[in-house]
Amino acid sequence: MMVHNLAIYADRTSDAPRFAEGQPAPELEVKPKPQIQVQDKTLPILPINDAKLTCGYKNPFYYQQYGIRHYGCDLVSVSNKREIYASADGKVIAAGWDGTNTPAYPNGNNSGCGYVLIIVYPDIKIKGTQKTGATFTYLHLKEQPIVKVGSQVKQGQLLGYYGDTGSMVFGAHLHLQIDTDTKYPQYCMGMGSSGHRILKHGTVDSTVNPMDILYLGKN
């Protein structure tokens, strides 16, 4: 249960640390801003405990190294707690295996983004805008999400566990992508036009930096 929230920030594209070409981005620990006392469930909480940011939103060096843009952020738990929690109250839109191959080969060709989960949180506030509501896309889960398509989730509810399923995955982590488009939640920026069963190729960028709108909360 959430007791309080802490606003958080992480690296922005403009001030991301530089590193040698061909080298992985250094891990960046999520740093809290001063505590604020809120009990507002329209403020979305970070989906994992003890979070560390390992690759930021639209990190330019990710594009240099892999040739694709990073429209979300990659998170791990420094205490190796792999539970994923609902950031707010919402509805499960899609959940399952994204690849066009079989889950028996979780990192093989055509494995897509592995086990994925899509939830629309209709009432959350998008910091810095007048908008409410967003689509959260969770990639590379360890296994089938716990929650079912069509079910309603509550803030802080266990959704599943992050892992390393899917292609182009180098170690267990959660890739979280947040889009202000809630009308077409399965369309996802950065996805190819083939090799996916759940995610669809997005063409209009309405994503936001997760670190701009998420808050820390106790689960």
pLDDT at 176: 97
**Cα–Cα nearest to 57, from 179, 215, 217, 195:** 179
Number of Cβ within 10 Å of residue 204's Cβ equals 10
In a domain, 112, yes or no: yes
Measure the CA–CA gap between 65 and 188, rounded to whole angstroms.
Answer: 21
Phi/psi of residue 54, each to 5°? -105, -20
Q: What is the mean pLDDT of the chain?
A: 82
The single-letter DSSP state of residue 113 is T
Measure the CA–CA gap between 177 and 198, rounded to whole angstroms.
Answer: 15
In a domain, 20, yes or no: no
In a domain, 125, yes or no: yes
The single-letter DSSP state of residue 140 is E
In a domain, 134, yes or no: yes
- Look at 107 and 175; give whichever has higher pLDDT: 175
**Cα–Cα nearest to 117, from 89, 100, 98:** 98
**Cα–Cα nearest to 83, from 39, 138, 44:** 138
Task: Give SS3 for 64.
Answer: helix
Q: What is the mean pLDDT of residues 64-92?
A: 93
pLDDT at 167: 85
Q: What is the mean pLDDT of residues 35-44?
A: 65
pLDDT in tens, 176-211: 999 999 999 999 998 877 778 999 999 999 999 999
- Per the structure, the count of domains in the chain is 1
Q: State which residues form the domain around 134.
A: 5-12+26-217
pLDDT in tens, 112-163: 999 999 999 999 999 888 889 999 999 999 999 999 999 999 999 999 999 9
In a domain, 21, yes or no: no
Which tokens hold the place of 104?
A: 């028996």
pLDDT at 204: 93
pLDDT at 26: 47
Residue 151 · residue 24 · CB < 8 Å: no
Which pLDDT band, with edges at 50, 70 and 90, does 8 fall under?
Answer: very low
- Look at 13 and 147; give whichever has higher pLDDT: 147
pTM attached to this predicted model: 0.82
Q: For position 90, which CATH number holds? A: 2.70.70.10
- Distances in whole angstroms, Cα of residue 14 to Cα of each of 29, 56, 57, 176, 215: 17, 11, 11, 20, 22
Angle, vertex CA 209, rays to CA 206 and CA 214, nearest 5? 120
Residue 40 · residue 15 · CB < 8 Å: no
In a domain, 178, yes or no: yes
